[in-house]
Amino acid sequence: MSRSVVNAERQDIPGVAIAITGFSDAARIAAKAAGLEQLAVAEYPVAIGIQEPAEVGQTVRDSLIDQIIDGLTKSESGAEKPVPVGQWHPDAIAFEGEPERINAHFQSMAWSDGLPIVPPTPECVAEFLAFTDRDPDEIVAILPQANLAAVPRNIAANGVMAGCRPEHMPILIAAVEAIGDEHYNLNNIGTTGTLVPFLLINGPIVRDLNIQCEGQLISRGPNPALGRALNLILRNIAGYRPGENYLGTFGYQPPYVLAENEAASPWPPFHVEKGHDETTSTVTAGGSVLFGYPPSPHNQPDKSGAQVILELLCRETYKKTILHLLPESGPDAFRSMVTVLLTPPIARCLADAGYSKQDVREYLYENARVSRRELEWHTKYTFVQPMELDEKVERGLFPAEYRGADEGEMLRLLPSPDVVHPVVCGEPGRNRLMLVHGVYVLPTTKPVSLPQDWAKKLSAQGDH
């Protein structure tokens, strides 16, 4: 809603954003990033969906009306103003002192993630900059929501802080290019659904830098510094701060980094399927809801919120994908991606039976199904705008094939085979698989640009 108010203010139309208490700061941050310095906010004091309709009306009368009037008549003009930009030389020293004092300062400035950092001294940053041919202040991407410029210098600083090695710099730059691409949709990762960005690395750089592709990849895993660097870049350049505008309901696991086990895979690697040569190294930015998307129970005339919660807990025992979002298609649909992690034995078993990666996608598309009764229940009771399944069909959000289906009929759950992304990784001796569902973002792949004399520089780094 804050973005709608920004658009109205640009036309000299006063506006007030309505936000649930706890979301006001996020609304103001989003508005400021879009150029609106002062956003008038009216706070709705109760979580959406847990009140009866009559209670909603009373809460609007008691809590919202006066706030809206005040916002429209008493607040400072919301006309677009330039956001003040401080004068700061990129080589300036932000703080000097002992490591303990440096860490305390970075914590107080909210530049850290709560763990000790490696101080990003000019010398350390210079070592990282030696691993890119870009100018230190060349813009790599403008990262929302803060809309700050990511340049090699500040990318390197965050990499140093995270404990990365200088030779990781090409990966960090490619990762920033990926999350900064409009296709990725970084502007919406603050969702309360606990969306965790992750990176998938392919190509020769996996071997060059010993990026792990086997066991324990999720969470901090064996590639923890790269995942932490992504997290710090999201915090310090994109401006996502947990509890402010990064609002995962139950918090976050750290961003993680995967590498595909290309040597053990019976199929073409992920990046080759995306049109890159197998000798090209790439970084793909994705997103996952590792905890399972937290549903939002809603009251309806025929069922209380408490009853919905109890029934939802039963369903959540065996459901992990987001049933009321996954089948959506069309321009207004939520973006979805389903990453299927397969260990090498599972991949070989499928390949030996004649299945390609595309065959796996097609099979899931045709056979991942849910009963109309189950899908209708989720559509009606667990979405912020509850509606009947047939209404979503009429609006073009659900497939036309759903129309007229019986309650027990099994409906195709995936909107397209293209939302499925098989990746071969994990413990090579285990027959395991894992499905990771993400919303809002789409996988975005960027090639890794290596500096001149990469092999020589890498060899010199190994001699240290």
| Residue-wise DSSP of 228-262 | HHHHHHHHHTS---BTTTB--TT--PPPEEEE--T
Higher pLDDT residue, 381 or 122?
A: 122
pLDDT tens per residue, range 354-403: 999 999 999 989 998 889 998 888 888 876 666 788 888 888 888 998 98
Whether 140 is in a domain gets the answer no
Tokens 């506006």: give the residue. 15
pTM score: 0.86
Q: How confident is the model at residue 77 (pLDDT cuts 50, 70, 90)?
A: very low
- Tokens 């530049």 identify what position? 111
CA dist 284 and 258 (Å) reads 10
In a domain, 80, yes or no: no
Q: How many structural domains is the chain composed of?
A: 1
Q: Are 297 and 305 in contact (CB under 8 A)?
A: yes
In terms of Cα–Cα distance, which of 294, 298, 357, 285 is closest to 320? Answer: 294
Note whether 123 and 156 are within 8 A (CB): no
**Residue 29: DSSP 8-state:** H
Cis peptide bond prior to 107, omega within 30° of 0: no
CA-nearest of 409, 407, 383, 408 to 397 is 383
Q: Helix (H, G, I), strand (E, B), or coil: what is residue 420?
A: strand
Q: Is residue 55 part of a domain?
A: yes
Q: What range defines the domain where residue 9 resides?
A: 2-73
Structure tokens at 401: 């094939």
**Token reading at 107:** 């914590």
* Of 140 and 30, the one with more pLDDT: 140
- List the beta bridge partners of residue 434: 341
Task: Count other C-beta atoms under 10 Å from residue 123's C-beta.
Answer: 8
Give the C-alpha separation, 144 to 442, whole Å: 16
Query: How many Å apart are CA 202 and CA 345, to the nearest integer?
Result: 20
- Note whether residue 17 is domain-resident: yes
**Residue 447 in contact with residue 280, Cβ under 8 Å?**
yes
Residue type, 443: P
% of the chain residues with pLDDT over 70: 89
What confidence tens digit (pLDDT) does each residue in 238-249 have?
999 988 888 888
27 within domain boundaries = yes
pLDDT band at 253 (very low <50, low <70, confident <90, very high): confident
Q: Is residue 56 part of a domain?
A: yes
Task: Please compute the mean of the pLDDT values over residues 212-218 and round it to a whole number.
Answer: 89
User: For residues 325 and 333, what is the distance between their CA atoms, to the nearest angstrom?
Assistant: 8
**Measured between alpha carbons, how far is 232 from 197 in angstroms, rounded to an integer?**
12
Query: Is 262 among the domain residues?
Result: no
Going by C-alpha positions, the residue among 345, 363, 360 that lies closest to residue 266 is: 345
Burial per residue of 167-184, b for 16 or more beta-carbon CB atoms within 10 angstroms, e otherwise: bbbbbbbbbbbbbbbeeb
Q: What is the mean pLDDT of residues 82-89?
A: 49
Would you say 193 and 249 are in contact if contact means Cβ atoms under 8 Å apart?
Answer: yes
Q: How far apart are CA 236 and CA 226, in angstroms?
A: 15
Asked whether residue 40 is domain-assigned, the answer is yes
